[in-house]
Chain A
Amino acid sequence: MDKLVDDNIFEISLIGTGGGYGESIVIHLGSKEWIVIDSCIDPKTNKSLPLELLRLKGVDIANDVKLIICTHWHDDHIRGISDLLENCINARFCMAKATDTGKFLQLVGLDHYKAKVNATASSTKELANCLKIIEERKIPIKGAEQDKLLYSVSNIEHSTNVFSLSPSDLVIDEFNGEISQLITDYGQTNRKIINNTPNEKSVAIYIAFNNHSVILGSDLELSENKLKGWKCIVDNCSCINSKSSLFKIPHHGSSNAYFKDVWDNLLIGDTLANITPWNRGGKLPTKEMLLKYLSHTKELYVTSPIGINNKPKKRDRDLQKAIYRFNKSLYEVKFDFGVIQCRHNINQKNTNWDIELIGKALKVLQ
């Protein structure tokens, strides 16, 4: 991986971990201005992978990282983000807007306390730490919502704008009810918060630079309701003014997040499409979905192989035999590191991207 040198290069690096340890996107907007979306870790070192990548690239982390976007509140998606925020001293912090901040903080406070007294593991430890850092720095949180301009780089040669496409107003309103339910269900118990609800609150991002644009789908899913999810974006987003040539496919390429209208209306033909796979339980993307994506584009990449055979961790032979005897279903969620690095000259008119595959990342062939 080479260091970035040119101010005119727009660069997106999608970091994947195989699905169990989060994912992250590190973006150079041009003119040495960087943003990061979410965070993930190497479970062996617990280090934030986007932070390590920025260091490897020789970025002035304290000054040049301008925005950190948190697309989920649950720890599983943002591991290491508080470490990242702590180091990026001048970065603003962005997350989906919560209209009842107090109630949201109650949930986080109760959850954080559980971990502090060892009652159970926290599911909001990262967010709790981020909020503390923000409070100490006395800077406002950037609330993500549909069509909101989150950040802008403007100079003589180019302008780059970062927009949030979601969550919609309806989803933000419903989130308050969801928090109340979570407080009721988990608040004063010693249970870890499990959040299996649809990823409607996920923050999808649209970045426009000169005549180009990219859509980063996060984990946003399709909803029956036109006022939520991808239908709402396709129908209502006014910030989208050109078809994108790069698409981070949402939610590990699952069928719940696939919407044909996105491909037909928001993306160019043969758009560069990236997926972070999910190698837990039902593996994603499925073969059917891969074929579907390949019907839209030949430029399809994944951060690591899909559907790898999962076995338990290696242990002493007698123990392994005993464990297998009692539970054959046990398997390890492996850490599979891969980066899809995509570069584009901001001033270039064509839509050709330079791609570099790092670690276990690979191109999906028909």
Chain B
Amino acid sequence: MDLVDKYLQVETLSVVLLGDFNPIIFQPTWLANKGLIRLDEAENANVEIIHNEIAKFDLGWIYIEITKSRCMFKTSMEPYFKPLKDLVSGIFKILKETPINAIGINHIYDLGLQDDKKYYKFGASLTPLNYWESDLTNPKLLQLEIFEHNQDENNSDSRRIKIASSDKIATYGVIFSINNHFTIGTPRSRIFEVLENLIDKTRPESKKIIKNIFSQIEL
């Protein structure tokens, strides 16, 4: 069991697309009619709203939220990471004229550090708290954000890593949220290169980043 698995409680994958969308199309029955999900999933979908401006529904294994400028597909069920990828890819192969400007692949790791010693040591190791001790009483780290920009002649991609404390799932919880942002210009085929290949590529990369942090902190 590696270092990340030792503390991992929940892993979430979300794919966010920015562009020009028509939320009212994105109905569970439409997805089923196109063979992208099972008919029974469409029939049993938990629909919050389907409207010209916004669509939100839950199929049990994936949560989908579409507005006119933003699409999000999210799941916290590991066995469904590949079906999520297939679904997003399938939708935009059918809607081939839909303008897409950017794709974000987000890997979110909810970790439980088990006790207060590890929890505070983690925060104190990530950023030196001694700078604050002359002015604050017992300062603690709440959130950290690291940004990386990858620019070449065709694309302006970036990676944003947020580390924050959270007790929503586990006590002494820490969240790693890794956003991989890809711009889509021309050719449009980049959309499928990102969806088909980069989800599989960014996942182990993201886990490796967290593993490297943990291996240096020695909890």
Contacts and interface: CB of A to CB of B under 8 A. Distances in A.
A117 B1 contact: no
B89 interface: yes
Interface of A: 117-118, 316
Contacts of B5: 316
Interface string B111-133: 00000000000000000000000
Interface in B1-39: 1, 5
B1 A118 contact: no
B157 interface: no
A118 B192 CA distance: 10
6 contacts: A117-B192, A117-B196, A118-B89, A118-B196, A316-B1, A316-B5
Interface of B: 1, 5, 89, 192, 196
B58 to A, nearest CB: 26
A295 to B, nearest CB: 51
Nearest to A118: B196
A118 B1 CA distance: 30
B150 to A, nearest CB: 24
Q: Which 6 A-B pairs have the closest CB atoms?
A: A118-B196, A316-B1, A117-B192, A117-B196, A118-B89, A316-B5
A66 to B, nearest CB: 38
A118 B196 CA distance: 7
A316 B1 CA distance: 7
Contacts of A117: 192, 196
A117 B192 CA distance: 8
Nearest to B35: A190
Contacts of B196: 117-118
A316 B8 CA distance: 15
B185 to A, nearest CB: 21
Nearest to B86: A118
Contacts of B1: 316
Nearest to B200: A118
A118 B89 CA distance: 10
A316 B196 CA distance: 28
Contacts of A316: 1, 5
B34 to A, nearest CB: 14
A22 B196 CA distance: 28
Contacts of B192: 117
